[in-house]
Amino acid sequence: AFFLTIVLLIFSLDRRASVNRTDVTIRIAAFGLMLGSLATNLLDRLLFGGVLNFIHVGSLPVFNIAHIMLLVGELLLIYSLLKTPRS
C-alpha cells in the first residue's frame, strides 16, 4: 500500500497538466486519507503487534477502517488524475 501511494504521488506531480483548485483539494484530501491510514496501521503494528481498528456489523465480513480509507483515498486520487486534462 505504501508503494502504491508513492507511485500515485509521483504521477500526480506531473507539471504539464493544468490542475485547477478543485483537483488540488481532491489530491490533498486523497493523500491525507492514504497517509493517515498508513500511519495508523503502522502505529497499531508497532504498539500492539497487529491492526486493531476492525468493525464487525451483523453478518457482514469484518473489515479494517484504515484499509477502507486507503481505498477511498486512492480512488479519489485516480479520479482526480483521470479528470485532469493533459496538454
pLDDT per residue as tens digits for the range 26-81 = 888 888 898 898 888 889 889 988 887 777 788 878 878 888 898 999 899 888 88
Q: Is 49 left (phi over 0), alpha (psi -120 to 50) or beta?
A: left
Give the pLDDT band (50/70/90) at residue 23. Answer: confident
Reported confidence tier of residue 22, pLDDT bands at 50, 70, 90: confident
Taking the model in full, what pTM does it have?
0.70
Is pLDDT above 90 for 21? no
Residue with cell 483521470: 82
